[in-house]
Structure 1
Amino acid sequence: MRFARLGPMGHEIPVLLDGEDTYDLRPVTSDVTGDFLAADPVGVVRAARAERRLAPLEGASGLRVGAPIARPSAIVCVGMNYAAHAAESGSAPPEVPIIFLKTPNTVAGPDDDVTIPRGSDKTDWEVELGVVIGRRGAYLDGPEQARDHIAGYVTANDLSERTFQLEVSGGQWSKGKCAPGFSPLGPWLVTADEVDPTELRLRSFVNGEPRQDSSTADLIFPVDHLVWHLSQFLTLEPGDLILTGTPEGVALSGRFPYLRPGDVVEIEIEGLGRQRQTFRAWEARS
């Protein structure tokens, strides 16, 4: 199944996307929250459809597309999880997953404009597979248990400001990761029963020119390993988001310029949809 959230920011309506049809999910949930994702959403929605409790959402095509999940309690990110990206960053492939956090207020819709942070000269794009947790997980016994804790998958752009991340970071990356709108998600959440995360094509484009083109088959630490590994150090809650790392082809490589006002970034993951963000200059607000 594909779940989405449509409408103005802060007032999104949860919907089911089925082919060309869009169904209002409010008879079964107020939003695509952790509680909804933990309560067998596929079964709940399937039953509601069988009982004809879901009606088409009028005017859906004219509504803004929001992030497909409500604000998560945690966004846990994996750094340098593709060997070629580690190399273009000047680092050896990691021997254990490198972890950093993003704040929940970085979540944005897939096509929302992004404001380049004040003072930024090095805003960068990063297409990534996002893993959405559907069941509480702590101290899993092995990677083979991971799939039981995954609700679904999303396309994500792990936007980064490299000066903040690497030069004035004090050794922590999150300064360069937490500007508002720096985690565009969607357009959909595709439930785990319909996705094989081991070989999905990821691509990015800047102003129509190709940048990244890789596959999750090249992940150093695959999805199941990451969920298991993270559960040894923190408790994963329903609705939490894991960003699994980006492949080579970002501006940090030195091969491409960093983003400037007016630039358009498009990213896509096979089966999970495509995003498009226009980047805007920061302006002081009165």
Structure 2
Amino acid sequence: MTVLEEYQSARGMLAGLAYRLLGSMHDTEDVLQEAYVRWSAADRTEVAEPRRYLTRVVTRLAIDVLRTRKARRESYVGEWLPEPVPATVLDLDDVSMALLHLMERLTPPQRAVYVLRTAFTLPYDEIAEILDRTPEDCRQLHRRALRSVDAEPRFQPSPAEQRRLLLDFVAAARDGDLPRLESMLKATATSYTDGGGLRRTARKPVTGRDRVATFFAHIYAHPEFTATPIDLVTGPALHVVVRGRPHILTVDRDADGITALRILANPEKLSAIER
């Protein structure tokens, strides 16, 4: 195969790896472009396994991006949420918005080990080679990562149930039906909003059943309102437009009700949706 053909044969896997590591399609595309440049310039006689080589390059580039992004994140206005990506763009079925959000707690090496071990089931010796660490160090990083993301919801409703919940919740909010909204929410429910300082949004999480219910009843009361179901790589969501301004709404739930809602309103993160 040619240089391009070998890269293209691995591109889907590499895109899934980069998005899991970064939670951003914009950053994923940048990493993939740089990985191709490096692959094109590589001495092919020294590359025994192209996919393994490209996995190492993409992982290391993503770690560099995460480290650089950490400094920018300190000045980010409000909550930082992963970028929503349509299901047609990436072929992923094992990643949720909740998990991507939780992985923001991890250090770049922890996140890399977690993704390579959990999503790609690579052995620790291979992960160690990719990260230039020892296998035991990688085991420790994986254990720490597991403790940090242990809050990921274990209850997984079907896509149809998730869509119905989203639509029922929005309908109750549009009606201003606080008792109905509160009946859907757990007492500790939390709403996260990402406007990036470019939209007027709640800059801090809204926590508590009554506060979350009141918050959504207020912001969804405007007559200029539409809500359209869409499928993201992370699962069902709603594309909501209020007064001409779009956002993406996702929910997490367990067997007892909604545990978290996420509003992604930063226009810079909606490019993949608004195309």
> TM-score range, shorter-chain basis?
under 0.3
Structure that is richer in helix per residue: 2
The higher-RCO structure (CA 8 Å, 6+ apart) is 1
Structure that is richer in strand per residue: 1
TM-score (norm 1): 0.24
TM-score (norm 2): 0.24
